[in-house]
Amino acid sequence: MSSAPGLDRLNDASADEAIRLLGEVCASRAWIGAVVAARPYGDPDKLYTNSDEAIAALTADDLQEAIDGHAVIGRPRHDDPQSAREQSGVHHAGDVVLADLRAGNIAYENRFGRVFLICASGRSAVEMLAELHDRLDNDPATEWEVTREELRKINRLRLEGLISA
């Protein structure tokens, strides 16, 4: 038994249940498969390391699948409490900032062909907007790697939540 009850639950879960649990963390089937296949985890650090390695190995299609599972910044999904919690920094943003986020999201999607992904936890809407504007200047290859790193941070936070439950 580990000191994290949620880690024991993940380790002991059937494959189908583990896939369901990890699907709440990330929508990439490749990532889920890699994390499920490496069970059991003796400690949280092994889980986090495996997650990081799985993210590093994602193809562009796998990464896109993960991104597609995320809400647009500034528009958390009401059917996804995790999205709303992670984007709590937009709850008190003014109309101008929210309008700028909407416009920035459109510009980002037009430039890169996907939703802007950022680890929103602990960030204000203004901070996320500034980061969005900065990243619009990235070349596509650099932006893929920045996006991959943001996904790594998001997955880490979500895994921490999963195993602490």
Only one residue has tokens 């896939």, namely 19
In angstroms, rounded to a whole number, what is the distance separating the alpha carbons of residues 35 and 55?
Answer: 10
H-state helical runs in 24-124: 29-37, 44-56, 60-68, 81-86, 95-112
Structural domain span for residue 70: 5-164
Q: By C-alpha distance, which of 54, 73, 155 is closest to 114?
A: 73
pTM: 0.90
> What CATH number has the domain bearing residue 139?
1.10.3330.10
Q: Residue 55 — pLDDT band, cuts 50, 70, 90?
A: very high
- What does the mean pLDDT of the chain come to? 90
In angstroms, rounded to a whole number, what is the distance separating the alpha carbons of residues 69 and 83?
Answer: 10
Q: By C-alpha distance, which of 84, 88, 136, 80 is closest to 112?
A: 136
Quote the tokens at residue 47: 């889980």
* CA atoms in the 13 A half-sphere facing the CB of 98: 12
Q: Give pLDDT tens digits for 79-103.
A: 666 666 666 666 677 789 888 999 9
Tell me how far CA of residue 83 lies from CA of 33, 73, 120, 133, 158, in angstroms: 23, 9, 9, 21, 11
- Count of structural domains, the chain: 1
